[in-house]
Structure 1
Amino acid sequence: MFTVAQARTAGFSRALIAAKVRRGEWIRVHARVLRSAEHPETPRSRIRAAVLSVGPDATLVGRSAAYWWRMIDVAPAEVEIAVPPESQPRPRRGVRILRRPVLPSERVTVDGVAVTKKATTVLAAAAMLGLVAGARLMDQVLQRGVVGLEALRSVHLRTSGRRGAGPCAELLRLAGGGARSEAERVAHRALGAAGIVGWVADHEVRLPGYGNAVLDLAFLGPRVLVEIDGWAYHRDLREFLRDAARQNALVLGGWVVIRTNWFELTEQPATFVGNVAAALSARSVGT
């Protein structure tokens, strides 16, 4: 993938370039960008061509930047490129031009393409994706250690006046631990709307072989328990092992344990309600 100017610098005349295009050896991707026919078109080649076509001031941003960093698996239909506000690039197919400044401190070159740094990319992409899909992205990158929560907060403070700052603030609140408390509220509302009653929240019990435990949402008579998680980001190995021992103690104590999380409760609350109803029904039949 290269520009016409790069081909000229390498010694190819305009006539030779035109001949290669006619013979199908080189394929014109954009007005000033060519691709060797030996290399197939891929999402990454499409993005590289778009950046080359806009010029040296182009910076890959948003979901396109997240894809370039390999944070997400599917490239967006349009390549999102930021240019300085004074720039006036011509519209081109498959490219979304955003006139906004990108500070040198927020810009880095990755595999030959100028792209926003990781923390800036995560916030911008999450804001574009929306609350639930953006939360999934943020949860995944935090869990994998791609970027830290403090780095995200620092970028958010520096860019709080930009478009998308509101959704980013909500996502950071959820990432900081708010997802679990929000999940609890959603679970309570979902059960109430379905007419499922008779549960208590934050009920403390003593489990033989384990000790004291606080149950998120418990139906004491049928001994059905709902355990509510926030994001995977907050579950390290130590917590996972502790939860496994706790759940084993609960099962041995005769409890049916249903696990849910913020993503299920916000995306598929009916699935959550159905699981609870089925567990209660099974216990009523067995008694």
Structure 2
Amino acid sequence: MPPPRQSIAHLAERQFGVVTTGQLLTLGVEPSWIKRQVRHGPWNRLHRGVLVVHSGPVEWRTHAQAALLHAGRGAVLSHRAAGYQHGFLDSPPRVVDVSVPHARHVAGSPGVVLHRRRHLGAEGWAHLVNRLPTTCRPDTVLDLLTLARSDDDVISLLCAAVRARTLPAEIRDAVMRSPRMAHRRLVLEILEDVEGGAESALERRYRRDVERRHRLPRAQRQVQHRLGDGRRVRADAVYDGLGVRVELDGEVAHPGGRTDQDTWRDNAVLLERGDVTLRYRWRHVRVTPCSTAAQVVAALRSRGWRGTPRPCSADCPVT
């Protein structure tokens, strides 16, 4: 009896090119025929009992689906895999994180990281994202926080989650339900800043390490102005009444440095408003915050600021 090729094709299409030997046997396929497709045909084995029905490159969704089929009933994508699904991460992870109900024991497999979860299956905990069962956004944030190695990782994750349309209130509710979670205190503090306009880890570092540490005036964040030609321009930070603006160019937003649009905006603001624009990147804020603060002080003083900055150490160039 010939194998039902059309049924196999439909099954593989629904599952991003992946099938299981169990599914094939249910369709009436002979085990010997399956073995020939792997040994001498175009199929490849991704996990025990999980096959991809072509020999070309395997895309990430196929690996994710294969990991879910390997993990079996009740499995969902979580942690880095869920973060990529939700748009928190720009590139797919090298391994696929999968969460399974705590009562189940699943054998390990290369390329798959398994997590056993007690509350898996609770209402609203997971849903389909791009046709793959995935933990919800707030719980994905909590999972990724357990992997964060530094404060910067925490800040970047929260800002990425908010940019991907996760409500800060949703994250806060999830945090409040997890009193022992990692970085809890910092997360609650950052959520306040995110809601207040700190859109990136770079902006938060600027406020803390450049402004607060050196007792500079606090700039208004995410300020919008309408120019005479009707165009709207926005600045990351504006020192109101002093004609000094600060733009913070992170690698994510400006991978190649200042763009043509940035240059036009800086020129337009200078010509129409007389404001000078200082532009900083990660190295200026993270590695040399004192030198950056000294330059901001010089700009503010040139525009009439008479405040007294505070050096943060004996070697700090801020005077």
Q: What TM-score, normalized to structure 2?
A: 0.62
User: Mapping of 1:72-83 within 5 angstroms?
Assistant: 72-83=89-100
The match for 1:41 among 50, 58, 73 is 58
The CA distance in 2 between the partners of 1:253 and 1:68, in whole Å, is: 43
Are residues 135 and 47 of structure 1, via their aligned partners in 2, closer, same or farther at CA, if it must alter by over 3 Å? same
Alignment partner of 1:58 is 2:75: yes
2:21 alignment partner in structure 1: 4
| Uncovered stretches (5+) of structure 2, i.e. residues with no partner | 1-17, 221-226, 228-236, 251-263, 303-319
Q: Contact 2:80 / 2:93 at 8 angstroms: preserved in 1? A: yes
The CA distance in 2 between the partners of 1:182 and 1:217, in whole Å, is: 20
Other structure's SS at 1:128 match: coil
Other structure's SS at 1:105 match: coil
Other structure's SS at 2:134 match: strand
The match for 1:185 among 208, 212, 236 is 208
Alignment partner of 1:256 is 2:276: yes
Shift of 1:163: 5.0
The CA distance in 2 between the partners of 1:8 and 1:273, in whole Å, is: 68
Q: Contact 2:216 / 2:297 at 8 angstroms: preserved in 1? A: no
Please identify, of 96-105 and 29-38, the stretch whose mean Cα deviation from structure 2 is larger: 96-105
The match for 1:122 among 127, 130, 141 is 141
Alignment-mate amino acid for residue 117 of structure 1 = C
1:237 alignment partner in structure 2: none
Alignment partner of 1:143 is 2:160: no
1:195 alignment partner in structure 2: none
2:111 alignment partner in structure 1: 94
Alignment-mate amino acid for residue 74 of structure 1 = S
Cα deviations across residues 1-28 of structure 1 (Å, max 9, x unaligned)? Answer: 0111111112212111111112222211
The match for 2:33 among 3, 16, 24 is 16
1:240 alignment partner in structure 2: none
Q: What TM-score, normalized to structure 1?
A: 0.68
Are residues 278 and 109 of structure 1, via their aligned partners in 2, closer, same or farther at CA, if it must alter by over 3 Å? closer
The size of the alignment, in residue pairs, is 250
The CA distance in 1 between the partners of 2:285 and 2:98, in whole Å, is: 30
More helix by share: 1
Q: Contact 2:79 / 2:143 at 8 angstroms: preserved in 1? A: yes
Q: Contact 1:128 / 1:164 at 8 angstroms: preserved in 2? A: no
Alignment-mate amino acid for residue 78 of structure 2 = V
Alignment-mate amino acid for residue 87 of structure 1 = R
User: Mapping of 1:264-275 within 5 angstroms?
Assistant: 264=282, 268-270=286-288, 273=291
